[in-house]
Chains A and B, each alone.
Chain A
Amino acid sequence: MNYDASCPLTYADIVDAYFLEHRAKVLDIAAFLDRLERAADGPAEKDDFRVAALREALLLLSDGDGERAKRVLDLLSDATETMPQSAANAKFALGAAPEVGQ
């Protein structure tokens, strides 16, 4: 894998090209977390496992290490090795593994 200097754009070019779009995405996440607190039945006592995984992913984004996209996907991945016999006994894919953030 080629990580360092692999994007042809300069740092300033990347900021100019993409900043506003990602500013908006951060605001979406912030508003989503606010919305959970404003839920009609009140905020949950314990986070849904998907929300817990999302909060863990957000921490990972600011830990200073690289390969964030890969590490977020790894964090959200099913790490079990067992296979159900059929889809009837399989859980619906929900975007995060229940083990994460528990």
Chain B
Amino acid sequence: MNYIEPHGHMVSRTTADYERMALAGCVAISEPAFWAGFDRDSVKGFYDYFRQLTEYEPARAKKFGIAHFCWICINPKEGDDPGFAREVIEIIPDFLKKPNVLGVGEIGLNKNTKNELIILEAQIDLAVKHNQLILVHTPHLEDKRKGTRIIMDALLNHGGVEPDRVLIDHVEEHTVAEVLDKGFWAGMTLYPETKCTTQRAADIIEMYGTERLWMNSACDWGISDPLAVPKARMELKRRGHSEAAIKRLTYDNPHTFLSQSPNFNLPG
């Protein structure tokens, strides 16, 4: 069964991972811009990274029959330096015109700071002005609930954001209801140590339904698993969920959300 990996940091993965994902049924990947594990020293560092996302990764994915899409932004961690972040934001509009770009993301908060919020608000405005989808990163530990609430306030206070064009990622049991109730899409990140396990993701689906919800592996440079989505499908199957429900979560839902961008076209 085909699936979409809607949040995978492929710049951190080997080519063998692309092959394994293709063998497991992955037909498309959407890759948000994120923190590379170190703070970049110049705007040029971001320029090179955005080229990697818009030129090199699509070519690498294509060899395995996987369509590669991406999101452009300055991540919340490096957004904590507003002067530098504004310089990076200046080069983003040119990249939003690239054919595999789906929107602005993953923007959000990392340590719930005022500086991060300034840059989050600037990038929400950038997305609205350029009619782009938004992909949101939420903090990972004790700061998640607070951060998720501040982010949702910023999105709704802007006035120009349509919640069904925004996906708020890394939800867990204490944030999923608020995100869905406000009309946003929600993403569950299957991550072995923090975030959500496949069993808990299946539990959340059972309690909150399959509407406006997706699952992703993140598969970044941390301890993570590029096959987490197919493993979550196995978990749902083991519990007796229907093929239709599993397809809805791992193919139809990401397809529906991402198709709001005119750039999201899958061959066939």
Q: Is the CB of A3 within 8 A of B114?
A: no
Does A12 lie at the interface of the complex (its beta carbon under 8 Å from any beta carbon of B)?
no
Q: Is the CB of B146 within 8 A of A77?
A: yes
Q: Is the CB of B142 within 8 A of A94?
A: yes
Does B86 lie at the interface of the complex (its beta carbon under 8 Å from any beta carbon of A)?
no
Q: Is the CB of A87 within 8 A of B172?
A: no
Considering the complex, give the chain A residue whose CB is closest to the CB of B149. A81
A residues less than 8 Å from B209 (CB atoms): 2
Question: Contact residue range for chain A?
Answer: 20 to 34
Which residues 42-67 of A sit at the B interface, judged by CB distance below 8 A?
67
User: With contacts A90-B113, A94-B141 known, is A73 near B146, CB below 8 A?
Assistant: no
A residues less than 8 Å from B115 (CB atoms): 85-87
Does B220 lie at the interface of the complex (its beta carbon under 8 Å from any beta carbon of A)?
no
Q: Is the CB of B145 within 8 A of A73?
A: yes
The smallest C-beta distance from A76 to any residue of chain B, in angstroms, reads 5
Most chain B CB within a 10 A radius of its CB, from A7, A17, A83, A95: A83
Q: Name 25 interchain pairs, CB-CB below 8 A, sorted by A.
A: A2-B208, A6-B207, A8-B239, A8-B240, A9-B239, A18-B199, A70-B174, A73-B144, A76-B141, A77-B142, A77-B143, A77-B174, A78-B112, A78-B142, A78-B143, A83-B150, A86-B114, A87-B80, A87-B113, A87-B116, A94-B141, A94-B142, A95-B141, A96-B141, A96-B142
